[in-house]
Every structure is written in structure tokens, then in C-alpha cells.
Amino acid sequence: MTPTQSSVPALEIDRLTGGYSQRRPVLHEISFKVMPGEMTGLIGLNGAGKSTAIKHILGLMLPHSGEVKVAGVRLSEDRAKFRASCSYVPEQPTLFPNLTVAEHLRWTAMAYGLDEGEADRRAAGLAETFRMEKAMGQLPDTLSKGMKQKVMLMNALLVSPPLLIIDEPFLGLDPLATRALLEALEEARRRECAILLCSHILPALERRADHLVVLHQGKIIASGTPDQVKEAAGGQPTLDDAFEALVLNAERGGRPVG
Ligand SMILES: Nc1ncnc2c1ncn2[C@@H]1O[C@H](COP(=O)(O)OP(=O)(O)OP(=O)(O)O)[C@@H](O)[C@H]1O
């Protein structure tokens, strides 16, 4: 049987061991999948290995062993397709100093070969969603930190790739922008976009994520739905409580759960 598009994971990580040196890997045999239309939260303490995992997913670092597939393709099989299948919003916005907000969106639409009319329509919708209509003609230097982050998010959402990876999106955003982002992510999911979201703001993930992957010292110590993770942590009432219990358990040498 030929698999349909939505039966192919947008992201599949299989027993990935990796990091900055062969002698001291950061990640140890991590495995998880994100299906089209799903949102997975990747959580862990500072230094747990989340950014290192993202670098492997983006193909910026190669596995020591195991593999990463994006939309069913390994980096070594088809570099261009692998790279075009995911879009990444880093924690620190990186914008072109000489392009206005509107020009960033136009440039992204051109780079990804989007239909011009459709891209303009989506860009206008995103500007409205993020309350950025009045800022469309401004250069990055004249924008606030949160507005710069909105530009990054608008560019990623304009493309709507099979896999969208967002690192700590909530920190710089005001409450309306946070709500707008969550709505825009729901809309992206309806278009079968898979989302991997790294954040230390656990209540948002508890409410919105389909799955969670809890990383500690480069190993997955729990995974599953938010309810399964809370249950695995001894029936904790909130994800914050569950996370703390799981980390303390792992530090006492407890077995991974989930
Ligand atoms: N460029 C690097 N060279 C060598 N080691 C690194 C490098 N970047 C990170 N590390 C190490 O890799 C481990 C995982 O770091 P990583 O940045 O993946 O953590 P993180 O989970 O993203 O943390 P945070 O929540 O603080 O962003 C840490 O021990 C860190 O010291």
C-alpha cells in the first residue's frame, strides 16, 4: 500500500545519538515522531539538549548514530527537499536590516515559490492576526523585540511547511500576541502542518500540545499526551508539577516513563 501524505510522519527521529563531539554525545538514543497536523512540545531544563536536538533536525549537525527524517526524507537522501520541508523560528529574531516587514514577507514568498496572490492574501491575514498592519513598512531597527519576533513567526507561518519548529515563542509576546500565535498555530495544524515547539512555559503546552517529549541530560525521560505525562509522574495535577517530579526522579536514578 502506498502511504498517504498524512500517514508519513512530518518528523521521525529514530535512536538519535549526537552532539558536538563523538567522545561526549549530548543526545543518547532519542526517538519520537510528529505526525502532520500535530503539535509536540519538547521540554527540558536548561542544557537538557533541546537546541542540540533542533540542530540535528535541521541538518546543521549530523547524527553519530540513528537517523532523522523530515517528511519521510533523510538529509543524505535529498538535501533540498529535507531543508525545504521545515521552517525554524529561533528564540532570537534574525532579520535583514534593509528589508521592511512587508519586504521580508515578499522575499520569503519568492524564496519558497509561493503563488504571489495567495502569498499577499496570507500576508495580509497574518498582519491582521498579529496586529502588525501599521508596521508593514518599517525596518527591523525600528521594531520592538516582540514585533521582531512576530515578523519571524509571520514569515514561518506564511510558508506553512510540513514541519514548523519554534523555539521559545512566548517570552517576548504580549498577551494578545500569544493568543494570536496559538490561533495561528491551530490554523497551521488544520493545513496539516506539524509543529515542534520548545518552551519552558508549560501551561500553554499542557493546554495545546498533543504530545510532549521530556528531555533530561540528553535522554527522553517521559513522553506521551499531557495527561499521560502527568499520570506517569504519579498523577500530578499540573504539567509544572509533573515536570518537576520527573526531573527529580531521573536525578535519583529512576527509570524513564511513558
Ligand atoms: N556549541 C556547543 N559546543 C559544545 N557543547 C555545547 C554547545 N552548545 C551546547 N552545548 C552543550 O550541550 C548540552 C545541551 O545544550 P543545549 O543548548 O542543547 O540545551 P537546551 O536544552 O537547548 O538548553 P536551554 O533551555 O538553556 O536553551 C549542554 O551541556 C551544553 O553545554
Taking the CA of residue 45 as reference, the ligand 1 atom at the shortest distance is 25
**CB of 52 sitting under 6 A from ligand 1:** yes
State whether the beta carbon of 48 lies less than 6 angstroms from ligand 1: yes
> Is the pLDDT score of 13 beyond 90?
yes
Whether 217 lines ligand 1, by a CB cut-off of 6 Å, is: no
Measured CA to CA in angstroms, residue 79 lies from 66, 72, 89, 109 at distances of 17, 12, 20, 20
* Domain final position from 160, 183, 208: 160
Pocket of ligand 1, candidates 21, 22, 51, 54: which has the most ligand atoms within 8 Å of its Cβ, to mutate?
A: 51
200-213 pLDDT, tens digit each: 999 989 999 999 99
116 lies in some domain: yes
**Ligand 1 centroid to 55 CA: how many Å?**
11
| Ligand 1 contact via 198 beta carbon (within 6 Å) | no
CB 50 near ligand 1, within 6 Å: yes
Only one residue has cell 514568498, namely 109
Give Cβ neighbours of residue 60 (< 8 Å, ≥ 6 apart). none
Which ligand 1 atom is the nearest neighbour of the CA of 21?
Answer: 4
Residue 2: the pLDDT is 43
- ipTM confidence score: 0.98
pTM for the predicted model, two decimal places: 0.91
Question: Which atom of ligand 1 is nearest the CA belonging to 218?
Answer: 14
pLDDT of amino acid 119: 92
- At 255 the pLDDT is 63
Last residue of a domain, one of 107, 130, 160: 160
pLDDT at site 84? 82
Half-sphere exposure of 235 (CA within 13 A, CB side): 0
Least confident of 75-89, 148-162, 222-236, 240-254: 75-89
**Residue 146 above 60 pLDDT?**
yes
Distances, alpha carbon 192 to alpha carbons 6, 36, 169, 186, 248, in Å: 8, 5, 20, 10, 36
- Ligand 1 centroid, distance to 215 Cα (angstroms): 12
Domain limit, last residue, from 116, 140, 160: 160
Residues 221 and 181: their CA atoms lie apart, in Å, by: 29
Classify burial at 71, counting beta carbons within 10 Å of its beta carbon; exposed 0-12, middle 13-18, buried 19 or more: buried
Nearest to 208 by CA among 224, 226, 192: 226
Mutation to probe ligand 1, out of 26, 199, 200, 219 (largest number of atoms < 8 A from CB): 26
Atom of ligand 1 at shortest range from CA of 53? 18
CA of 51 to the centre of ligand 1 (A): 6
pLDDT classification of 160: cutoffs 50, 70, 90: confident
* Domain at 216, CATH number: 3.40.50.300
Cα 110 to ligand 1 centroid, rounded to whole Å: 34
Domain containing 230 equals 5-85+161-251
pLDDT tens digits along 121-143: 999 999 999 999 999 999 999 99
| Atom 11 of ligand 1: nearest residue by CA position | 47
Model confidence at 229: pLDDT above 90? yes
Q: How far is residue 191's CA from residue 37's CA, in Å, rounded to a whole number?
A: 7
Q: Confidence class of residue 169 from pLDDT cuts 50, 70 and 90?
A: confident
Domain for residue 198, yes or no?
yes
What span, in angstroms and rounded, lies between the C-alpha atoms of 167 and 164? 10
211 belongs to a structural domain: yes
80 and 173 belong to one structural domain:
yes
Cell digits for 3? 502511504
Q: What is the domain count for the chain?
A: 2
Asked whether residue 65 falls in the same domain as residue 167, the answer is yes
Tell which atom from ligand 1 comes closest to the C-alpha of 47. Answer: 19
